């Protein structure tokens, strides 16, 4: 069973995503509400995959992605973005994100993104 770290500043989004991924058979080993927490939890738990919101306080998802990749160049990060953040998504992919999912979350698309990312 793959271990996931969920990162989003909105508790409702974390809860929604957690339900979708646990129902799909994944284990959530941590939840972060900003990029700074995500980097610390990644270092502590070394999950198989991280879902990362782009826009967050303290440290945004792009900066957190860079720091996670410094800790582990093979880390798998799937970015989560709202509509209209295409330039940030492109930046995230260039920084090493393996995929992205768009809010509001689509359960089928999330499962596809996770399976694709974990199979790399």
Average of per-residue pLDDT across 20-45: 97
Q: Tokens representing 8?
A: 């989003």
How far is the C-alpha of 48 from the C-alpha of 27, rounded, in Å?
10
Q: Before 71, cis peptide (omega within 30)? A: no
How far is the C-alpha of 85 from the C-alpha of 28, rounded, in Å?
26
Residue whose C-alpha is closest to residue 65's, from 45, 83, 80, 87: 80
The CATH T-level fold of domain 3-118 is Rossmann fold (3.40.50)
**Within its chain, how far is the Cα of 86 from the centroid?**
16
Is the pTM higher than 0.85? yes
How far is the C-alpha of 65 from the C-alpha of 19, rounded, in Å?
23
Give me the residue spans of the domains in the chain. Answer: 3-118
49-76 residue pLDDT tens: 999 999 999 999 999 999 999 999 999 9
């Amino acid at each position: 069973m793959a271990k996931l770290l969920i990162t989003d500043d909105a508790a409702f989004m974390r809860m929604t995503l957690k339900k979708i991924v646990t129902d799909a058979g994944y284990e959530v080993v941590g939840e972060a509400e900003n990029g700074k927490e995500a980097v610390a939890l990644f270092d502590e738990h070394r999950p198989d995959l991280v879902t990362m919101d782009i826009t967050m306080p303290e440290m945004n998802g792009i900066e957190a992605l860079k720091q996670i990749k410094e800790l582990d160049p093979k880390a798998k990060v799937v970015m989560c973005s709202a509509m209209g953040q295409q330039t940030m998504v492109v930046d995230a992919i260039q920084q090493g994100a393996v995929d992205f999912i768009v809010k509001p979350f689509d359960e089928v698309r999330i499962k596809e993104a996770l399976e694709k990312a974990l199979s790399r």
